[in-house]
A = this chain, B = another copy of it.
């Protein structure tokens, strides 16, 4: 099937999905017959069939024999969303490391069902093709392969990155880009470029514990900003904090933050950009999940609204292609550009040459966008099915986010359940979930867990979700008794 045809049925599926999500097509309603829709849309029957298969795999429609396709009764079963978070608006030291270490000792055990780690399953990635590309590149590279690719790093890769960034509304040229060892290194270098130990960074709450550990290891402080589960950081709250607390920079994940999966609306991005100007603030923007939108449109980074060079944009290919290649990048505005390149040099010398060349070659060879579409569908399906499982197996009063991108779910258990105890007891049953308190320097989210959905769906996963759901029911009813 050619890329164009594939695009066609995916676009059709996305449009139908959007009609269902918006309630235009209602649960139980019959969707147009394959022939009728093919005629109306002037596409082939096979294109419509493909589109319906996608909707089925997303759990949006179901085929009834001899009758046609129907919108599934599922939206009504979805758990409610958690409320906007209310962390304390004060600057504080970060000390999550011991807790994370305690919780993560089991994260490498292959006997444990890993519903905790937010890493994509290699089956969902173009593993064979990438490794083959690296092999080809290595055989051809000669001396270039073993030589330092000193910062700013691989020119071909920076060209590809800049080209794609332009498509997302960012006015970048290859010279703006510095390649890094994944997004982690990019974020570390960006924070070091704009702040020093003791400075306070405004962060969303909850926030990925790895970012907290980075901040902790650099001796910086944080202030947590209230965050809406769908729209991301509450900008009114941020304004209030900026008036009371001396904040040096913001570190935000505006597109599908981990663990909330929230996505800041464009008007908020616009407003945030002008707030940065008004308060003379830098933003370190973690864009690593933005390519994983479940809907048809990729969110534009805040960088796209940044007219005065306030935003350092950081990303990588770790969630879409190959975590183990460790290829990331950052785009810093002119006043930070040289410092960022220098920090890269002093911190790790250079980014490995051949993995960069392999990713650049993969991007040039074409097919990345098609892979992304497939990957997004898989992640969307994983999230939908996990949401379904939560609705089915978890106790009444459980809430869950409805992420429109990425592959993690943030679940609020009934208040009586202690997430750390829940984590320990799930582990006894051979299942790893991530307890909420690691996502906050003030140890909030004591009854929340994060579930990862970045896997190929299987019975083992389904059983594990039922098991932890039953565990939650048991703990909730014990508490009520």
Q: Which residues of A contact B (CB under 8 A)?
A: 97, 101, 108, 119, 122-123, 125, 127-128, 130-132, 134-136, 138-139, 141-150, 180-182, 184-185, 188, 192, 196-197, 210, 213-214, 216-217, 219, 318, 321-326, 338, 342-343, 345-355
Contact = CB atoms under 8 A, between A and B. Distances in A.
A182 to B, nearest CB: 5
A162 B318 CA distance: 30
B146 A139 contact: no
A19 to B, nearest CB: 36
B131 A147 contact: no
A71 B427 CA distance: 73
A201 to B, nearest CB: 14
Nearest to A119: B148
A343 B217 contact: yes
Interface residues of chain A: helix, strand, loop or mixed (majority): helix
A451 to B, nearest CB: 19
Contacts of A146: 122, 125, 127, 130-131, 321-325
B326 A351 contact: yes
A192 B218 CA distance: 9
A350 B326 contact: yes
Contacts of A322: 145-146
9 contacts: A119-B148, A134-B145, A146-B325, A188-B347, A197-B219, A210-B345, A213-B346, A323-B350, A326-B351
A134 B139 CA distance: 8
Given A122-B142, A182-B349, A347-B214, A325 B354 contact: yes
Nearest to A196: B219
A349 B184 contact: yes
A-B pairs, top 7 by smallest CB distance, nearest first, are: A122-B143, A324-B353, A146-B322, A135-B135, A184-B349, A181-B348, A135-B138
A145 B184 contact: no
Contacts of A197: 196-197, 219
Nearest to A123: B143
Nearest to A210: B346
Contact of A138 (B131, B214, B321): B131
A125 B144 CA distance: 12
A182 B150 CA distance: 13
Contact of A352 (B101, B138, B355): B355
B142 A128 contact: yes
A322 B143 CA distance: 9
B147 A323 contact: yes
Given A131-B141, A132-B139, A322-B146, A217 B347 contact: yes
A196 B135 CA distance: 42
